[in-house]
Chain A
Amino acid sequence: MNTTLLTQSVAAQTETHQAVREASGLFSGTWLLIALPLLGAALLLLGGRRLDRTGHLVGCATVIASFVVAAVLFVAMLGEGSGERAFLIPLWEWFNAGGYEVEISLLLDQLSMAFVLLITGVGSLIHVYSIGYMEHDERRRRFFGYLNLFVAAMLLLVLASDFLVLFIGWEGVGLASYLLIGFWQHKPSAAVAAKKAFVVNRVGDMGMVLAVASMLVVFGSSSYAVVFAGTENAPVGWLNAIGLFLLLAACGKSAQFPLQSWLLDAMEGPTPVSALIHAATMVTAGVYLIVRSAAIFDLAPEARTAVVVVGAVTLLMGAIIGCAKDDIKKALAGSTMSQIGYMMLAAGLGPAGYAFAIFHLITHGFFKANLFLGAGSVMHGMNDEVDMRRFGALRAAMPVTFATFAIGYLAIIGIPPFAGFFSKDQIIEAAFAEGLVVGLCALLGAGITAFYMTRVMLMTFLGSKRWAEEAHPHESPRVMTWPLIALGALSVVGGAGLLYLGGGIVDWLEPVTGEEHHDLPVPLAVLMTSTLITVLAGAAVAWLLYGRRPVPEVAPRGNPLTVAARRDLYGDAVNEGLFMRPGQYLTRSLVYAESRGVDGTIVGAAKAVGGLSTRWRRWQTGFVRSYALTMLAGAGLVVIAMLLVRLP
């Protein structure tokens, strides 16, 4: 048990880090959070066909139970003092290899609590929604098993107290993501998308492995306590390296530039998966990783700058891609990239931005899940049509979906008093405090966000009917609309509630992330006004382009930027040109060198031996007289040799 060590070292840390106590009483049941969905996954995946009928209920029950546990723990945590809300729940020693020991233990503090609530809460809603959405899928039991597996892995990810344990959850969510993207594996596009997500994520995982290995070199351990306690004395070069490795890992998981290409294809999965994994929770794991590693990034300015740059670039890229997509899910996926870019940007700003990153992460979890589930509801009513050019005027046919989707829309573009306004505005403020360029990027992103979301809204719910002939749009069943309503409500009140209720999320997270205030270069009111004006301008441009004019059912050619955005800003082309083709050439040339060079040498040697043997074999005639002749000649030669040696 290195709990005492952990406690001491953390206590010795800077004032931003609170003391970690060994959990007792209620908090020692934290492991139930993970165990419940894991049990559900085991039941559903191993239980076989007898669970086909009730499987979805089991899946929902375990996650809801987990949410209840989380809620109880949250209330219990509220009862503790502000600086005493971090608990360590040691479970067992995983392995002990010489000087390196890893314990499976859970760390429940304010940050992980926020994530646990988000994962189990949104997860529960999406589970319930999936009952309706997957009703006609004969592999529904398996789907719920995978979802439960995902929730368990994601909870392990955020509850781990050691980077190596976090890595288990990290790979677990990757596996679940792979399985769920390729859930409709009979579609080649889904199988390919799953494989692509898997491969791109492996690149990020390499960064994670390198980061953990570097920690072992520098700190001799990968546990949070030891690593964060040792950052003060660690060389800055190493900290930067670890920070960049962690950033690579985060880029892979969170679909940030340059590893962004998999997320758009991941929309091949069922829509609840897109909502839960590829919008609300898993893709935000990178942000969690960076915020959790705050102690490292605080002391690694170069790595932090890289985070900011990656965030800003992805923010704009995702937004531009979102503008050009006609596929409603892909437009939302571009939006997700963009919003996570915001979070990364905020996380890269250091203590000034960590809390806002998490804040935006949570509100984004609400409204993006809401939007995706709304899109899923639309698809459900439109025979799985995803092309927005085939939608239009669905407002009357799907009133509930329209209402909730509109709330999500207002939330994401940041209209007060909806959730996105508070969280995004904070990030833009912090970005301006950091620097003008970063701030302008954030501001521009907000404008583009307004543009593409308005476009989605107009093309889907307003305008004229462009439906396919056999389409009979109808409102989704209640089991699907109730989660929508719940998420819509959260999208309305989540922002203000989290920011102001009981000291707000910033104070809540302060013991973990620290706090820092910058002075704004411009007055706050000016900034807020300009942000709103940008947003309204974006929406107005969209209305001019798509609201006033009829939307053509076949996409026009568009300008070069549109073409590029439709092709994901050539992300795949770059990957192919930079990595795939050279890799293929390299392997081909290696294969050639191997087959000709190495094999050639060996095969050639073998053939030479074989050929010589075939020749020499003829000497073995079997005739004893031939042998006698050879023997006589040999004996004669020996005698001659002896004489030659002796004679002189």
Chain B
Amino acid sequence: MNPTSYLVLATILFTLGSGGVLLRRNALVAFMSVELMLNAANLAFVAFARMHGALDGQIVAFFVMIIAAAEVVIGLAIIVMIFRTRRSASVDDASLLKL
């Protein structure tokens, strides 16, 4: 099957993910949207790996997953901390770093 279909799917997922980051105020949802974008990129990697007949794309996807896991750990810790101090999980509330 031609990789174009997978690429189109990855594009749609990526766009939806970025839409979530841009439009949702809940930090957790925004965070999950980031995960969605990463997964979309992973899908493209795996599709290309198959197209080229080499496994390097799969390796990259694997590393992306690991980094995403690390990122989730740190990000969630930060969200928990913000929630503890501010009683809010809205990214808009954490907007004090400006003039």
Contact = CB atoms under 8 A, between A and B. Distances in A.
Contact of A620 (B18, B91, B98): B98
B96 interface: yes
B21 interface: yes
B95 A624 contact: yes
B99 A625 contact: no
A555 interface: no
A647 interface: no
A622 B91 CA distance: 10
B92 interface: yes
Interface residues of B, number: 14
Interface residues of A, number: 10
A629 B98 contact: no
Contacts of A621: 95, 98
A617 B99 contact: yes
Interface in B42-96: 91-92, 94-96
Interface in A602-635: 617, 620-625, 628-629, 632
B22 interface: yes
A625 B91 contact: yes
A625 B26 CA distance: 11
Contacts of A617: 99
A632 B94 CA distance: 20
B92 A623 contact: yes
A623 B94 CA distance: 7
A622 B25 CA distance: 13
Nearest to B34: A628
A629 B94 CA distance: 17
Contacts of A625: 21-23, 25, 30, 91-92
A175 B98 CA distance: 62
Interface string B9-53: 000000000100111010000100000000000000000000000
A628 B22 contact: yes
A621 B99 CA distance: 8
A642 B95 CA distance: 33
A622 B22 contact: no
A645 to B, nearest CB: 22
B31 to A, nearest CB: 11
A36 B34 CA distance: 95
A623 B98 CA distance: 9
Given A623-B92, A624-B94, A625-B91, A632 B22 contact: yes
B1 interface: no
A620 B21 contact: no
A621 B94 CA distance: 11
Nearest to A613: B99
Contacts of A632: 18, 22
Contacts of B30: 625
B21 A623 contact: no
A262 to B, nearest CB: 62
A622 B21 contact: no
A420 to B, nearest CB: 86
Contacts of B98: 620-622
Nearest to A620: B98
16 contacts: A617-B99, A620-B98, A620-B99, A621-B95, A621-B98, A622-B95, A623-B91, A623-B92, A624-B94, A624-B95, A625-B22, A625-B25, A625-B30, A625-B92, A628-B18, A628-B22
Given A621-B98, A622-B96, A632-B18, 9 more contacts: A620-B98, A622-B97, A622-B98, A623-B92, A624-B91, A625-B25, A625-B30, A625-B91, A628-B18
Interface of A: 617, 620-625, 628-629, 632
